[in-house]
Structures are given as C-alpha cells and as structure tokens.
A and B are shown apart, each in its own frame.
Chain A
C-alpha cells in the first residue's frame, strides 16, 4: 500500500540570526506526506512546527531566517528552485493553509465575499477568465460545503458579524474552495471552545475524506490528531523524533519524548497528573550536542551526548530517532533498551 509521495522534505535546516549569534531551529527535518494521506505533526511550542510549514510555503521571513540546507519537493519538484510566480500558483491551488486564529486570518474591513471570491478567481488561469456570476456560485458552494446556513447573505457579511466557529468554517471553506492537493491546518480550532472545536474538526475531517486531499495537521493537542490522522510525526526541538501510523503510536509510543508527552496529558480516567517532562526546550543558540532531547531524557546514555541519532525502523512504518532502538550498535545499548521498554 505504498502511495506516491506528494511532499517530501529532506534534511531541512533553518536558522535565525539574532542577538548573540544564530538560532539553529530546524536541525535536519525529514518529512513525507503521501497523496491522500492525513499526517499529524505534533510538538510543543517552539519545536519548529510553524517554521517548517513556513519554509514549505516559502513565507519564512528572510532575514532574520535563513535556510542552511535541505530539499523540499512537491510533486517531485524542488520548491526552493521554483520561481516566485510559479510559487504563487502553487500556494493558490496546490497548497492551502488554515490558520489557528480565524479572526486574524480574515481581514475585518472586507466582506466574506470580497475575500473569498478573489481566492477562487486567482486560483488558476482558467478561473481568471470565468464570469463573475460563476465565481459567485462557486463561492456560495464553498460556504455551503462547510455547512454554513444562508451563504448568499454571508457573502455580504463582515467577519465581525460572525462567531468564532463560523469564521473558522469560512476559513476552511476558503482553503478548500480551490480543491488543494495539500491542506496545511495549523492548530485549527485551538482558539475555539471545546464543543465548537469538536464540530469544526468533525466537519474538516469529513470534507478532506470526501476530497481525498492530503492534510498536514499541526497541533500540540494529542487527542485531536488521534481522531483525524493516519500517520503521525512527533517533533522535538527542530527534529522529527518519531513517526508511525497514528493508531500504533498511541498504543505503543517508543521515543522517550513521545512517552513523556502522552503521560503528561491528564486523562479522563483520573489517577492524578503526571509530572511531565523535566527541564525545558533547549536554547537554540547553544543546542545540546548529540540528541537534542538528552538533557531531559530519563534513559540518556553516553552515546546520546555525542551523536545525533538517525531514524531506526522498529516495525513496519514505525521509525524512531533514538539510540535505545539501535539494534546494530551491539551489546551496550541492548540492556538499556529492555529497561526502557519494560
């Protein structure tokens, strides 16, 4: 069941120039999204999720940011070599984005129609030639798709006249109106109330399933990716530390960071709140040597301080960047691994 890769990122390194030197934020990110796949990207504040997405869309502010190395391929084409003009086209039709805060994503001084119609019109050269009426019809359909009542009137409304949940629906409708092949959703619904978030996410899930779009769902809420994705990447301090089919990772997390994260979420089953992961996310100015997680890791070994672990395939499609799972290095790590898994 190998699907064709749609987006591939290899060894992406991104830094930022600041007071005192350079922040080495992305430390060689590898990331693949296949056609029609729903991929979750989980990590805490400052782990580089958003930087990665900005690099894909080429909206990383440069300076202070700069790309040190890496390849980003969309449909096999290197996005970093693509001309600006073409990139706009890719952003319009190939890749869409939904932002965390629907209030900030919509311009308050234009009506929904004034914002939605150009998105459709400029999505492709063919659309540009369409008469206004057809574009309006498409806009109405886009709003109907996201279960918004009375779309004709909504087109004339201003964002302030809508509730947070409705605005997020409008944003989803806008992102999907051009039938993108890849949808990047950055913390959708995080700013909404639980019950409204649940509605919005169910809707989003249903829509992308219907269209068979590929999705990257960025979030720090583990429960959300569990419902919505096929595969999961866990990111820590600019590195992908684990990837596996979502179901597997929730039943059998392998990386000590993933384990800590899962433990830390308070459970409805009770039993108190785990202490979480000691320490804090590293200073990107002077990141730790070797594995960036080692200062917080309960199983840290000597090798973790010296070498950066690469991805070890533990089972089919389950990869983890941790020396505990390095079967090649021989005897010294094997006992530790057993201990960790016990």
Chain B
C-alpha cells in the first residue's frame, strides 16, 4: 500500500506496473517460442517427450493390461503372440502384453533419468561455479583435478563394478551412473564461469561489494542455465541408454519389472522368429532418446543467437 502512494509521482500505479511486468514476460516467451519453433524437429522432439511423459504418468489408465507390468503374471496360452489388435505390440514368451510393459518401461527410464540428473546437476554445477570463480587458486585445482580423476575411470566399467559389488538393482545402478556423470557438469560450468567472471557486470558487482553467493547464483548462474538445460535434455537420452544397457546385462531394473533394456535382453533369445518381443522395447528406447536429443537441439537454438 505504501509503495503504491510513493510511486505515484512517477505517474505509475501498482496496476500499471503489473501490466508492464506482464507485457515484458509475454514478449520474452513469445520470442522464445519463435526461436524454438523455427526448427520443426524441435517441436517433434518436444511433442514426443510430452506424450511419453503423459503415457508414463498415466500408465495404469492408458494401458490395456496394467497387471502384466505391475504384478507377476503368466498366461502361457497367449505366449509369443505376434502383434494384433488385441495386443498391439504382441505378447512375450510368458504371455504378457508388450505394449503395456513398454509404456510402464518408460516410467523406469524416465524416473531413472530424472533421479540421476537431479543428483548430478546440483553437485556438478555448484562445484563448477566455485572452481571457475576461483580460477587459478588452490580450490580450483582441487576441484578440477578431482573431476579429472573421475573422468579418467571408464564410466560403464565403474557402473558395472559398483552394481556387481553391491546387490544389482535400479538404485545401485543409478548411484553408479551419478558418480560418473557429475564431472561433466562441473567441466561445462567451469568453462563458462571462467569466461563470465571477466565480464564487466561481474566486476561491477564485486566493486560495489556484492557477496560471493550473489555473484555466483545471481550474476553468473543465470547466464549458464541455458547450456545446463540443453545438456540436461541431451543427457536424459544418454542416461536412459546407459540405464537400458545396464538392465540389458542384468544390472538395472530387475524382472519382472518391465525395464526397457531388460525387455530387449529377454526377447533377444527369440530373435529373429519372435522379433516383436525385443523390437518394440528397442524402438521405444530409440524414440525416447531421439525425442530428448531433438528437444535439446531446440533448446540450444532457443538460447543461441540472442539478437534474433
């Protein structure tokens, strides 16, 4: 209330200020959408991901046979049926509906990606910001040499080792993937932070006496978010592939849960006669990974040339 009266001398009231804020936001999003949508493939990517996320969330309601994926289930009478109207993707060697299991498989793949990235990104980004801002000091060398060590361990082997020492299950393989993933974010953020800390707007904040936290999170981070989001989108695809690879070799999602990799693996024995058992889960992996990659490319365009 007091602010409103104080501002009156400027000829603006609270309502007008809100209006301005709204217009500025609309312009911002309008421009963003224009840049994103100029590449029709990014739209394809975004729509694909939206559909997959929708299917995954509402899997129990959109699938014809949710029980085939959530409960131990066998129906040998209907085993190894080729695709039909009843079973869109056919059935597997013990009679489960592959379509339903694939949709549920998205759940594991997506949650794996989301969980791994939500572990990895904050840690990696924070370390990268700190190391980049204190470039040339001891803090920089400690953080960056640590990332070098992690990066020099072959990642899939590390994951295999962890998953086999500990009990093989989804959460252990996620820990394994997270361990080898954070240094990439540290590197990405480090590179950009070292460039940004020399920008005059950072100097200006320092000269005025802003806190280090302000400089890291308010001045530098917003300028890097774009590349972080882009990388996250591309990484979702990668994490899903690695997750699928781990479950393919039996270290990820455990049967009877429908991991996409597990499904490909268990169907592989029946190739080429009963091709649908592995083909559809494999295609599902391709579609989800492609979707995230196209989306990532679109995000990159969106954040690229600032001036258009």
Contacts and interface: CB of A to CB of B under 8 A. Distances in A.
A157 B198 CA distance: 30
Interface residues of B, number: 5
A18 B30 CA distance: 12
Nearest to A63: B38
A165 B280 CA distance: 65
Interface of chain B, main secondary structure: helix
B201 interface: no
B22 interface: no
Nearest to A19: B34
Interface of A: 18-20, 64
B300 interface: no
Contacts of B308: 18-19, 64
Interface string B24-41: 000000110011000000
A64 B34 CA distance: 14
State the 3 A-B residue pairs at the shortest beta-carbon distance, nearest first. Answer: A19-B34, A19-B31, A18-B308
Contacts of B35: 19
A333 to B, nearest CB: 37
A64 B35 CA distance: 13
8 contacts: A18-B308, A19-B30, A19-B31, A19-B34, A19-B35, A19-B308, A20-B34, A64-B308
A64 B308 CA distance: 10
Contacts of A19: 30-31, 34-35, 308
Interface string B10-51: 000000000000000000001100110000000000000000
Given A19-B30, A19-B34, A19-B308, 5 more contacts: A18-B308, A19-B31, A19-B35, A20-B34, A64-B308
B133 to A, nearest CB: 28
Contacts of A64: 308
Nearest to B38: A19
Interface in B287-308: 308
Nearest to A16: B308
A211 to B, nearest CB: 38
Among A18, A19, A20, A64: residue with most chain B CB under 10 A: A19
Nearest to B32: A19
A20 B27 CA distance: 10
A19 B35 CA distance: 8
Contacts of A18: 308
A186 B34 CA distance: 33
Nearest to A64: B308
A18 B31 CA distance: 10
A109 to B, nearest CB: 21
Contacts of B31: 19
Contacts of A20: 34
A50 to B, nearest CB: 14
A157 B308 CA distance: 39
Nearest to B31: A19
A66 to B, nearest CB: 15
B193 to A, nearest CB: 25
Interface string B260-284: 0000000000000000000000000
A18 B34 CA distance: 9
Contacts of B34: 19-20
B182 to A, nearest CB: 34
A19 B308 CA distance: 7
